[in-house]
């Protein structure tokens, strides 16, 4: 199982361009659908916690999944598997960057990758919204949060605190009001 954790997260890290959020479709495909280590709802919960914790989003998810499955050893193996491809790729780029930094073809390739990264982030966002039961009646909550961060520079921490407080009040006074 430890080897399987390492190889699964190594594969995820190796074939993902664009950071942690771009890894979500691969994590979902490998960990939820293919291996069935956790459910889609558990992944959604882990993503919420991983975003709230300091550190790299994808590494946080790898740690949580590895720990859930095999304790500290599982957390270590999944984390190493997740970060090793990036480490190797960055090391290789650092060794050869000066030779290619002014190459027009390389610059164009990176410009072409950017829209794909946006799509890789957008696709799981819509899938997560469905899993979290975000519909037309409550879509205003994430839209408002994104708007406040983008337009007014509100700290995401305050948006998370306000959303948590709002959810708590909603649950306490509207969903389950006590007489």
Question: In this structure, what token pair is assigned to residue 82?
Answer: 């997740």
| Interval 44-72 mean pLDDT | 89
Contact 89, 17 (CB under 8 A): no
pLDDT band at 179 (very low <50, low <70, confident <90, very high): low
The predicted structure's pLDDT at residue 62: 92
Cα separation, 151 vs 41, whole angstroms:
31
**How crowded is residue 83: how many other Cβ atoms within 10 Å of its Cβ?**
17
Q: Would you say 64 and 50 are in contact if contact means Cβ atoms under 8 Å apart?
A: yes
Q: How many CB atoms lie within 10 A of CB 24?
A: 23
pTM, to two decimals: 0.61
What is the dihedral sign for C-alpha 33, 38, 40, 43? negative
Confidence of residue 18 (pLDDT cuts 50, 70, 90): low
Mean pLDDT of 61-83: 94
Two tokens, residue 55 = 């550190």
């Amino acid at each position: 199982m430890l080897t399987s954790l390492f190889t699964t997260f190594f594969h995820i890290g190796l074939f993902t361009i664009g950071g942690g959020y771009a890894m979500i479709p691969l994590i979902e495909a490998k960990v939820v659908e293919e291996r069935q280590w956790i459910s889609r709802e558990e992944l959604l919960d882990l993503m919420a916690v991983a975003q709230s914790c300091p550190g790299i989003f994808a590494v946080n998810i790898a740690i949580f999944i590895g720990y859930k499955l095999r304790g500290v050893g599982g957390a270590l193996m999944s984390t190493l598997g997740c970060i090793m491809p990036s480490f190797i790729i960055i090391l290789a780029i650092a060794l050869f960057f000066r030779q290619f930094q002014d190459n027009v073809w390389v610059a164009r390739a990176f410009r072409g990758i950017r829209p794909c990264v946006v799509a890789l982030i957008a696709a799981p966002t819509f899938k997560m919204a469905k899993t979290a039961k975000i519909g037309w009646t409550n879509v205003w909550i994430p839209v408002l949060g994104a708007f406040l961060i983008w337009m007014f520079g509100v700290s995401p921490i305050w948006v998370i605190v306000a959303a948590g407080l709002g959810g708590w009040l909603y649950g306490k006074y509207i969903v389950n009001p006590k007489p």
